[in-house]
Structure 1
Amino acid sequence: MTTILVVVAAVALLVTAVVGYVSWRDRQRSIPDEDGTAARDAESRRHRYETQRHASQHHTLRRDEPNSM
């Protein structure tokens, strides 16, 4: 029984150490400038897509109306 408890405690200590190291390592990383550029580019593409979608829906609705042009 003592052997099992020692093994379980050693595994728990190892897992805690690994989780602590990975957390520490991730905090040491800096956010690159490319992330901001990529986020702005994605926002621009989303806005452009929504604008085009809105315009195409407007033309579709106006197509069926008489004297639309």
Structure 2
Amino acid sequence: MCLRVKDEEPAQVYPEGPRKYHPSDVSTRQSLEKRIHYMQNLQKQKRKLGKRFKRPTPIPDPGILWT
């Protein structure tokens, strides 16, 4: 079986296009978004812990109460 080939440039099998990035390749936009997300989570945790461990209001002495 013979394949007839003309004198034309062969079509590229894998044309130049967006390459798949290696997982360690992170764009500046992605790293910026990741940092923002991290900082937002820190703020949330700080708020939760602040509510959890805030000082309770002091209980007034029974002799000071005005009736």
TM-score over 0.5 for the pair: no
TM bucket normalised to smaller: 0.3 to 0.5
Larger radius of gyration: 2
Query: TM-score with structure 2 length normalisation?
Result: 0.45
Query: TM-score with structure 1 length normalisation?
Result: 0.44
Structure with more of its chain in helix, by fraction: 1
